[in-house]
Structure 1
Amino acid sequence: MTRAFTFPGQGSQVVGMGRELAESRPVAARVFEEVNDALGQDLRSVMFDGPQEELTLTHNAQPALMAVSIAVMRVLEEDFGVKLQDAAAYVAGHSLGEYSALTAAGALSLSDAAKLLRLRGEAMQRAVPVGEGAMAAILGLEMEAVEEVVKEAAQGDICTAANDNANGQIVISGHKAAVERAIPIAKEKGAMKGVLLPVSAPFHCALMQPAAEEMKAALAETTINAPAVPVIANVTAAPESDPVKIRDLLVEQVTGRVRWRESVLKMGELGVDTLVEAGAGKVLTGMVRRIDKSISGISLQTAEEIEAFAASLKN
């Protein structure tokens, strides 16, 4: 069996995430304390007690989701003696989850990851005035058809495929008017559904260039080590271990497409047969079944699930 650990992105956050793990496993509680210290904010109380509106704010959701993922990984390693490089051949994360993946693999420190994700969330929010951008999910069309849709809808505005999540599940991003034009065009081309998403900014498109510049400056000052196992990068859907290249790809990721479907297929080509999702929710585990039925998905959120997974490695 060849595994990869995967790490969820924005949208998986829910009030109460990480609480059970922190209450039952002191090593998990320490992760949340370290993130609080790095940010100078009691993010843990927002995660555990809400309100949901505050947790969903991009600059809170991003470091919070990373913290839950790393808490899972620390429990696995410190309480059950499972080292990442012994249990998996690759790591990958969806959008902000790429920072979680790099932290789990030792490329980024927990403190640096929290600070970078706080900045990333704030920078993305600053990049486009509220109301000028939008994102929409296009369901039931493949990428080739969606490329035609966004080209037709742009009409001088920015409109692009931002997240290639799974077969027939693609998210577009850009100027609000263009994204709104794209929905009826997509339906004309056979889409089952096109729906605007409740997001605060148009992520992963050229409108995020100001945020990319902020991240470039911050990442230039951040130590990045070679990861314990290669990371499958969002923007290339290919394995990467070179810290210099990883830094460049994290900058490119702000405006670039999240090639998640291609990333899962690439891991399959590389021999991975099991994806282990570490952190809040089961979004990525659900996507696996749509992308490649030969790859199985496991979700680790609770202490019980982590213990059972660790035990399975010994059998």
Structure 2
Amino acid sequence: MTSTMTSATVPPPAPGAASLAMFPGQGSQRAGMAAHLLEHHPGAAEPIFRAADAAAGIELSRLCVTGVKGDLTRTDITQPAVLATSLATWEVLRTAGFRPAAVAGHSLGEFTALVAAGVLTLESAFALVRRRGELMARVAERTDGGMLAVIGLPAAAVERACAERGGAGVAEVANYNDARQTVVSGHRAALDEVAEAVRTAGAEKVVLLEVGAPFHCSLMAEIEAEFADELARHTFGPARLPVISSVTGAALASGADARGLLRRQLACPVRWTDVLAAAERYGATAYLEVGPGRVLTGFAKRTVENRTVLSTGDARRIDAAIREIRDQEGTLP
């Protein structure tokens, strides 16, 4: 399924709007990641966490404020926790008047983007993410798999390393993050082969990621049908602003388009470089990471030139982001 932007189904960017709101995925979590939101912006953040606790069926507000690293290691806990923190951050910015040209999410972050755009309700997003996390955790339990970040080598060279290795098992590109970082997902033994090959090819750094499963590769295809059953239970509405899909690098055409892409996302690579290229075509001059961590901030800084790139993962950064947004002529309507 290839998505195309149509003026009949997706609104164009607001006049003068010039920001891409980027929502992070799993791997951005950290202990205390929402403490600054509830302490400094309780009016905006507290209602989101109350709703998140009820929708997720677990105490996300506690886990995101006082939970330690070990509390956030399980995929089925991590994903709703990152979603809640990102949504609370979005609400803080939205309350301050932030109106981006478009939104996009990296893997899990796509659910946050769909809530921000009005495609999904908060309740549906949490139900979907909780089920997604459960299914992914099941794959992790019975698969000796993982993910490997390759830094300092073109994506084409990483693709060749995956294709030309001689051993058994799955090793596939899972994330095209930026020109210098490509992530491979698959069986551990196959990842070891890829690691050796890319080091020989000149990779500057090879890092085994601390993730709970081999995301975004064919090993996840076995859960697509079950996740599709959950997707079918939820309503996907029209987008109030453009959502750039990390599966295709193009804007969603409809709510039905979003449903199909979320299913495909499980086993398809994240094409973040294409997302950033699409944002440039929208005329984005600022890139704001909305949620915990600074992973997407790094990707943007290494990909786009002469652009403002900001993150919001602590009190100082979110306050600086709000000031910068307000200072950027045309960013707010």
What TM-score, normalized by structure 2, do the two folds share? 0.88
SS of residue matched to 2:174: strand
Matched residue, 1:19: 35
Identity of aligned residues (%): 36
Q: Is the CA contact 2:101–2:282 (under 8 Å) kept in the aligned structure 1?
A: no
Matched residue, 2:124: 112
| Counterpart-to-counterpart distance in 1, 2:204 and 2:328 | 41
Q: Is the CA contact 2:21–2:103 (under 8 Å) kept in the aligned structure 1?
A: yes
- Deviations, residues 118-154 of structure 1 (Å, cap 9, x unaligned): 1111111112435511211111111111110001236
What TM-score, normalized by structure 1, do the two folds share? 0.93
| Counterpart-to-counterpart distance in 2, 1:196 and 1:313 | 39
Matched residue, 2:25: 9
| Counterpart-to-counterpart distance in 2, 1:58 and 1:244 | 26
Match of 1:77 among 94, 100, 120: 94
Q: Which amino acid aligns with 1:179?
A: L
Q: Runs in 1 of length 4+ with deviation above 3 angstroms?
A: 128-131
Label 1:188 to 1:310 Cα distance change in 2 as closer, same or farther (>3 A): closer
SS of residue matched to 1:12: coil
Q: Is the CA contact 2:247–2:269 (under 8 Å) kept in the aligned structure 1?
A: yes
Alignment of 1:229 with 2:244, yes or no, is no
| Counterpart-to-counterpart distance in 2, 1:67 and 1:305 | 22
Label 1:133 to 1:26 Cα distance change in 2 as closer, same or farther (>3 A): same
Alignment of 1:199 with 2:215, yes or no, is no
SS of residue matched to 1:239: coil
Q: Is the CA contact 1:106–1:228 (under 8 Å) kept in the aligned structure 2?
A: yes
Q: Which amino acid aligns with 1:298?
A: L
Q: Which amino acid aligns with 2:72?
A: L
Alignment of 1:44 with 2:56, yes or no, is no
Alignment of 1:28 with 2:45, yes or no, is yes
SS of residue matched to 2:65: helix
Q: Which amino acid aligns with 2:105?
A: G
**Structure 2 residue ranges without an equivalent (≥5):** 1-15
| Counterpart-to-counterpart distance in 2, 1:264 and 1:310 | 19
Label 1:36 to 1:276 Cα distance change in 2 as closer, same or farther (>3 A): same
Match of 1:291 among 298, 303, 313: 303
- Deviations, residues 17-61 of structure 1 (Å, cap 9, x unaligned): 112211332220111111101122112111111121111321111
Moved more, 20-29 or 172-181: 20-29
Moved more, 248-257 or 221-230: 221-230
- Deviations, residues 133-189 of structure 1 (Å, cap 9, x unaligned): 121111111111111000123644211000111112011001111111110111111
Match of 1:211 among 223, 233, 253: 223
- Deviations, residues 271-297 of structure 1 (Å, cap 9, x unaligned): 212111111112111111111223321
TM-aligned CA deviation for residue 105 of structure 1: 1.1
Label 1:143 to 1:310 Cα distance change in 2 as closer, same or farther (>3 A): closer
Q: Is the CA contact 1:93–1:101 (under 8 Å) kept in the aligned structure 2?
A: yes
Q: Which amino acid aligns with 2:282?
A: L
SS of residue matched to 2:239: coil
Higher relative contact order (CA 8 A, sep 6+): 2
Q: Which amino acid aligns with 1:311?
A: R
TM-aligned CA deviation for residue 305 of structure 1: 3.7
Correspondence 1:88-237 to 2 at 5 A: 88-130=100-142, 132-153=144-165, 155-237=167-249
TM-aligned CA deviation for residue 312 of structure 1: 2.6
| Counterpart-to-counterpart distance in 1, 2:31 and 2:213 | 22
SS of residue matched to 1:49: coil
TM-aligned CA deviation for residue 190 of structure 1: 1.4
